[in-house]
């Protein structure tokens, strides 16, 4: 049965490997207030004219430390309890682009590669030989180069755009999974508790089983 | 006072004797390894699924216009809704993981053999109910993979002779997967766990009639059985602790690792995802379905692949005790079968093209060959082993237990 255990472990590793198939540069997102604030700002200026964030309400932004005046500025006459919808109406988007730009609330979960996909996509714009702009990750995308990487010329601009892409990705990762930080923090406590409990349960098991006499135990001779 | 109350009850209901005979004092072979923990773990996961599911149901809306949104409501606004949902989603995978090991243990040690056939068959029934429940539950988030998975699988019932078309409509409640389908799947997803609990009771009644098998494969004499409590309660609780550590690592740190990205996109009947895949626990059977070029043949092969386990008591004709432990040929077959399952799982995940198709077909043949070979080789192997003589430790055990039937072998 030891071989079976080994097989199980190998299978689990193979499954993990399968989920990491995407061949993209990895992005290290941040969860600090400054990054999320810059990301939210970027989202508001670069994305929200076309994309909604319908599962996030303006009020939710306070939980990542965005100051109230800033939120008031963004929401205009909308209530704080309203979802963050796109400026462009779906009807008009259809007319201009032929599709409704996808809602971004779950975008970092809804693509193979997750956050890495989004990051690589935002930075994937380049000039083609026939003079137009295309995307390496999603060729033929309808979305224009929002961060302007295809027209960047200096190293400083490139650094700035990479930073912006990372900020937006961090913000949208929060939007897709707003309780992630709390979940991971709680996870450490839960695991610490379980490891302690399981160690104690192991000792209890040992103590209880020690009551069995092993002197006449002919079963132990062939026990593995 | 409490003694008088218990006396009053005991004269009317077998309260004390039930606890003594079936719980605390239930005789259990002392040599059970940790592989015998998984039945208890399956029971635990069942309770966990029912408990989290009931609270999820309080916030979920089975309506195509609201289902996806209500899941987001649970994930974002309901207090610890994310925890409930991640536990429930991970719990489904954990259930299959635990059950697959439970079944692998039964196959390895030959625990399905007489007199445990009914125990094994009730387990087979439980597997089918578990599969149905998981399949219906997967539709409820109403994501792209939910919708298209249900569409593909319900479509398979077109293979029904004569009434194919009608059966598909009857299952869906509509011409395509829609609101009617979502509602009935939700109703049945809520019903099935209670049927499963009933079937578990039957499974346990069967278990308590024949008692647990053990790694030696020989029915032990009374002196080698020990009371379930405190020996196996302590052992099972330790096993539960280890299980919960793994479970919580997934729930708290990588809860999305087992979910398909496409299911974070709301169901859209007008847009088929590039690549429709079922959850990991269905992948081997899905690979078998796709490996048969003909649709009806594929459906039959898939159904048969799940049901083959039920034939094991008849296919395995060897009377050598201890399953794979003392049977070298059977042991090799067992490991080849497990590897074959893994290969099928991999094939089921890949788009069916090129060599993948060929590998899938070979693995499908391998899958069924396992059962055929067991039927063919089990008696040959038995004769060979008897001629060669059993290992001395087995022989010693058989002598010690002085079981006339086994000593003949």
Domain ranges of chain A: 24-181
Known active-site residue B10: no
Rg (CA), chain B: 24
With 90 as the cut, is the pLDDT of residue B315 above it? yes
What token pair was written down for A72? 């008031």
With both helix axes pointing from N to C terminus, report the angle between B228-253 and B38-57 in degrees, rounded to the nearest 10. 50
CATH number at residue B51: 1.20.810.10
Q: How far apart are CA A152 and CA A138, in angstroms?
A: 20
Known active-site residue B405: no
Domain count, chain B: 2
Residue A53, beta-bridge partner list: A84
Q: Name the residue facing B252 among A176, A190, A197 (closest C-beta).
A: A190
Element spanning B392, H or E: helix B392-401
Known active-site residue B236: yes
pLDDT tens profile B52-61: 999 999 999 9
What pLDDT is recorded for position A179? 97
Per-residue pLDDT tens digits of chain A, which is 224 residues long: 666 677 667 666 665 555 444 456 688 899 999 999 999 999 999 999 999 999 999 999 999 999 999 999 999 999 999 999 999 888 998 888 888 999 999 999 999 999 999 999 999 999 998 889 999 999 999 999 999 999 998 999 999 999 999 999 999 999 999 999 999 999 999 999 999 999 999 999 999 999 887 654 555 544 43
Known active-site residue B212: yes
Q: Which of B264, B281, B327, B350 would you mutate first to test chain A, the one with the most A CBs within 10 A?
A: B264
Is the CB of A179 less than 8 angstroms away from the CB of B76? yes
Of chain A residues 203-222, which have a CB less than 8 A from chain B?
A: 204-205, 208-209, 212, 217-219, 221-222
Torsions phi, psi of B210, nearest 5?
A: -100, -15
Q: Which of B357, B358, B378, B256 is nearest to B315 (CA)?
A: B378
- For A1-34, the DSSP string reads -HHHHHHHHHHHHHHHHHHT---S-------SHH
Q: How far apart are CA A103 and CA B362, in angstroms?
A: 43
What mean pLDDT is reported for chain B?
A: 94
* Overall average pLDDT of the B81-105 stretch: 98
Catalytic residue among B208, B211, B229, B264: B208
* Overall average pLDDT of the B398-404 stretch: 60
Catalytic residue among B61, B102, B189, B235: B235
What is the domain extent for residue B143? 30-218+225-257
What pLDDT is recorded for position B402? 56
Q: What is the nearest CA distance from A154 to chain B, expressed in angstroms? A: 36
> What dotted CATH number matches A24-181?
1.10.760.10
C-alpha distances in angstroms, B313 versus A13, A155, B112, B113, B301?
Answer: 33, 72, 6, 5, 20
Which residues on chain A are in Cβ contact (under 8 Å) with B332? Answer: none
Q: How far apart are CA B397 and CA A218, in angstroms?
A: 7
Known active-site residue B260: no
Q: How far apart are CA A174 and CA B77, in angstroms?
A: 14
With 90 as the cut, is the pLDDT of residue B176 above it? yes
Is the CB of A184 less than 8 angstroms away from the CB of B349? no
Residue B232 lies in a domain: yes
- Chain A residue closest to B71 (CA)? A55
Q: What is the nearest CA distance from A72 to chain B, expressed in angstroms? A: 22
Q: What is the nearest CA distance from A156 to chain B, expressed in angstroms? A: 34
Query: How many beta carbons lie within 10 A of that of residue B249, not counting itself?
Result: 16
- Chain A residue closest to B246 (CA)? A191
Q: Which of A24, A54, A106 would you mutate first to test chain B, the one with the most B CBs within 10 A?
A: A106
Are residues B52 and B175 located together in one domain of the fold? yes
Q: What is the nearest CA distance from A194 to chain B, expressed in angstroms? A: 6
Q: How far apart are CA B398 and CA B409, in angstroms?
A: 10
Residue B2 lies in a domain: no
CATH number at residue B398: 1.10.287.980
* Overall average pLDDT of the B31-50 stretch: 97
With 50 as the cut, is the pLDDT of residue B335 above it? yes
With 80 as the cut, is the pLDDT of residue B406 above it? no
Cβ A86 vs Cβ A101: under 8 Å: yes
Is A125 strand, coil or helix?
strand
Q: Map tokens 């599962």 to a residue.
A: A55
Residue B18 lies in a domain: no
Q: How many helices (H) and strands (E) does chain A have?
A: 7, 4
Which residues on chain A are in Cβ contact (under 8 Å) with B245? Answer: 191, 194-195, 198
What pLDDT is recorded for position A219? 54
Percentage of residues in chain B having pLDDT higher than 70: 98
What pLDDT is recorded for position B389? 84
Give the burial class of B22: count Cβ atoms within 10 A of its Cβ; 0-12 exposed, 13-18 middle, 19 or more buried: middle
Q: Name the residue facing B230 among A106, A190, A208 (closest C-beta).
A: A208
Q: How far apart are CA A168 and CA A118, in angstroms?
A: 9
What pLDDT is recorded for position A20? 46
Q: Is A194 on the interface with B (CB under 8 A)?
A: yes
Are residues B283 and B152 located together in one domain of the fold? no
pLDDT tens profile B260-290: 999 999 999 999 998 899 999 999 999 999 9
With 90 as the cut, is the pLDDT of residue B403 above it? no
Q: How far apart are CA B315 and CA B375, in angstroms?
A: 5
Residue A126, beta-bridge partner list: A134
Is the CB of B108 less than 8 angstroms away from the CB of A15? no
Is the CB of A55 less than 8 angstroms away from the CB of B76? yes
Is the CB of B264 less than 8 angstroms away from the CB of A109? yes
């Amino acid at each position: 049965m030891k071989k079976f255990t080994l097989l199980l472990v190998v299978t689990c590793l193979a499954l993990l490997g399968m989920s990491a198939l995407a061949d993209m540069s990895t992005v290290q997102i941040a969860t600090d207030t400054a990054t999320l604030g810059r990301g939210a700002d970027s989202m508001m200026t670069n994305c929200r004219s076309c994309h909604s964030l319908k599962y996030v309400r303006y009020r939710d932004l306070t939980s990542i430390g965005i100051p109230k005046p800033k939120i008031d500025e963004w929401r205009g006459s909308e209530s704080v309890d309203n979802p963050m919808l796109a400026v462009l109406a779906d009807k008009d988007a259809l007319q201009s682009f032929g599709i409704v730009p996808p809602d971004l609330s779950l975008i970092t979960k809804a693509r193979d590669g997750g956050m890495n996909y989004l990051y690589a996509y935002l930075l994937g714009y380049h000039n083609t030989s026939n003079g137009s702009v295309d995307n390496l990750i999603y060729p033929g995308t309808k979305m224009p180069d929002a961060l302007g990487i295809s027209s960047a010329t200096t190293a400083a601009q490139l650094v700035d755009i990479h930073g912006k892409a990372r900020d937006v990705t961090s913000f949208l990762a929060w939007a897709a999974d707003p309780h992630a930080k709390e979940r991971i923090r709680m996870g450490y406590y839960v695991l610490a508790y379980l490891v302690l409990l399981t160690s104690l349960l192991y000792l209890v098991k040992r103590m209880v089983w020690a009551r069995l006499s092993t002197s006449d135990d002919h079963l132990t001779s062939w026990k593995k | 006072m409490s003694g008088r109350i218990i006396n009053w009850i005991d004269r009317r209901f077998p309260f004390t004797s039930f606890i003594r005979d079936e719980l605390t004092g239930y005789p259990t072979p002392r040599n059970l390894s940790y592989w015998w923990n998984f039945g208890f773990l399956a029971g635990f996961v069942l309770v966990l699924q029912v408990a989290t599911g009931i609270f999820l149901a309080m916030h979920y809306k089975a309506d195509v216009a609201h289902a996806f949104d209500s899941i987001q409501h649970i994930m974002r606004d309901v207090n610890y809704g994310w925890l409930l949902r991640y536990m429930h989603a991970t719990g489904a995978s954990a259930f299959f993981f635990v059950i697959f090991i439970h079944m692998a243990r039964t196959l390895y040690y030959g625990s399905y053999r007489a007199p445990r056939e009914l125990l094994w068959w009730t387990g087979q029934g439980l597997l089918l109910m578990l599969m149905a429940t998981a399949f219906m539950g997967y539709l409820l988030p109403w994501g792209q993979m939910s919708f298209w998975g249900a569409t593909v699988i319900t479509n398979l019932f077109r293979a029904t002779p004569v009434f194919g078309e009608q059966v598909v409509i009857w299952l869906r409640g509509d011409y395509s997967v829609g609101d009617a389908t979502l509602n009935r799947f939700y109703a049945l997803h809520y019903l099935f766990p209670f049927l499963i609990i009933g079937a578990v009771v039957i499974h346990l009644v069967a278990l308590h009639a024949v008692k647990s098998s053990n790694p030696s494969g020989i029915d032990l004499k009374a002196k080698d059985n020990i009371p379930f409590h405190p020996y196996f309660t302590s052992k099972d609780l330790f096993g539960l602790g280890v299980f919960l550590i793994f479970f919580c690592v997934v729930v708290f740190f990588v809860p999305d690792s087992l979910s398909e990205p496409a299911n974070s996109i709301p169901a859209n009947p007008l847009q088929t995802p590039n690549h429709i895949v079922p959850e990991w626990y269905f992948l081997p059977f899905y690979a078998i379905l796709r490996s048969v070029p003909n649709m009806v043949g594929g459906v039959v092969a898939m159904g048969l692949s799940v049901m083959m386990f039920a034939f094991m008591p008849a296919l395995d004709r060897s009377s050598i005790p201890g399953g794979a432990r003392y049977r070298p040929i059977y042991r090799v077959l067992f490991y080849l079968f497990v590897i074959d399952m893994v290969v099928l799982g991999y094939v089921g995940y890949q788009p069916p093209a090129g060599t993948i198709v060929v590998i899938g077909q070979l693995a499908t043949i391998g899958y069924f060959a396992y059962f055929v070979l067991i039927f063919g080789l089990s008696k040959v192997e038995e004769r060979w082993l008897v001629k060669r003589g059993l290992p001395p430790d087995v022989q010693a055990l058989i002598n010690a237990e002085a079981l006339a039937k086994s000593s003949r072998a």
